[in-house]
A = this chain, B = another copy of it.
Amino acid sequence: MPAFSDRLAEAVRQKGPLCVGIDPRWESLPKAIRESVRDEEADERAAIAFFEFGRKVLELVRPYSGVVKPQAAFFELLGPNGMEMLQQLLQEAKQQGFVTILDAKRGDIASTATAYADAAFSGCAIDGETFPVWNADSLTINPYLGRDAVEPFLTAAKTNERGTFVLVRTSNPGAGLFQDLVCDGKPVYRHVAEEVAKWNAATIGSCGLGDVGAVVGATHPRELVELRGVMPDVWFLVPGYGAQGGNAADVKAAYRADGLGAIVNSSRGITFPFHPDAPDWEAKIVAAAQKAQSELKP
């Protein structure tokens, strides 16, 4: 299997930088999907609908995007049934040829971090047999606990040819409360960025970028430019484009001259550009994905 960074590069070369975020909410699902599960048990209904909707989204966006990012929180909200559908959806995405990012923002210390990393990548080994868990190509992680807490994720990613995306500068309006604190003349997010650049340096693939990525919000265009300079060989996962207010011109600051270097996520903008009762929801998803692909072209 090619390195994670090279698989990502191939996806971006083929389809462009659009990453489709899958953040399902029961009340936003198309009426047709909700009705199709009406006869299921009440506590399984939403989970089945999440999978059916997710699978349909994958089929619809496939010409326009090579990377998908399911958001673990929305599946967790449906409990174990939801987690089962997250697992199936990640598998379905892999089978359809997508590079997958599990957006779970995990972070913990020592063997606990290893448990999360194994769940994300290699699976669970019991009595010599290994069972896949999420089997994602990559995982978002939170750096607050420091290098030794990030290390187990990097190690597991390396062993399994997967990738990570470390939160550097998040897209929310209040991201700066701690991320912008200035220490030794540089904001905290920049200290994190410099560490990410170091962690990434040992993982550069044939595409010239590495397997340790950074999350940098589209809602901070100046920081995007600054951080591209600090992390020249790092893949950026850029949330905040579309519904959160980041525009296509801004996010292009994250691209390298070769057109690689960033994947730009849109969740609601691509997957929910319709009223739940609209009969033409599929066409609306296709149109939104097509428009985003075109806008984001390097």
Contact = CB atoms under 8 A, between A and B. Distances in A.
B167 A115 contact: no
Chain multiplicity (copies) = 2
Interface in A101-129: 105-113, 115-116, 118-119, 124, 126-127, 129
A165 to B, nearest CB: 13
A119 B82 CA distance: 11
Interface string A68-82: 000101101111110
A14 interface: no
A97 interface: no
Contacts of A119: 73, 76-77, 79
Given A73-B112, A83-B83, A146 B124 contact: no
Which 3 pairs of residues, A with B, have the shortest CB-CB distance?
A148-B174, A146-B177, A181-B183
A106 B141 CA distance: 11
A170 interface: yes
A96 B109 CA distance: 29
Interface stretch (A57-65, A188-196, A258-266, A285-293): A188-196
A149 B129 contact: no
A143 B177 CA distance: 9
A129 B174 contact: no
A173 B148 contact: yes
Interface in A121-180: 124, 126-127, 129, 131, 133, 142-149, 167, 170-179
Contacts of A142: 105, 107, 142, 144
A87 interface: yes
Nearest to A49: B126
B178 A131 contact: no
A178 B248 CA distance: 32
A107 B108 CA distance: 12
Contacts of A175: 145-146, 149
A223 interface: no
B195 A188 contact: no
Interface stretch (A39-47, A205-213, A273-281): A39-47
Contacts of A170: 109, 144-146, 149
Given A42-B129, A144-B142, A149-B172, A115 B179 contact: no
Contacts of A71: 108, 112, 115
Contacts of A118: 77
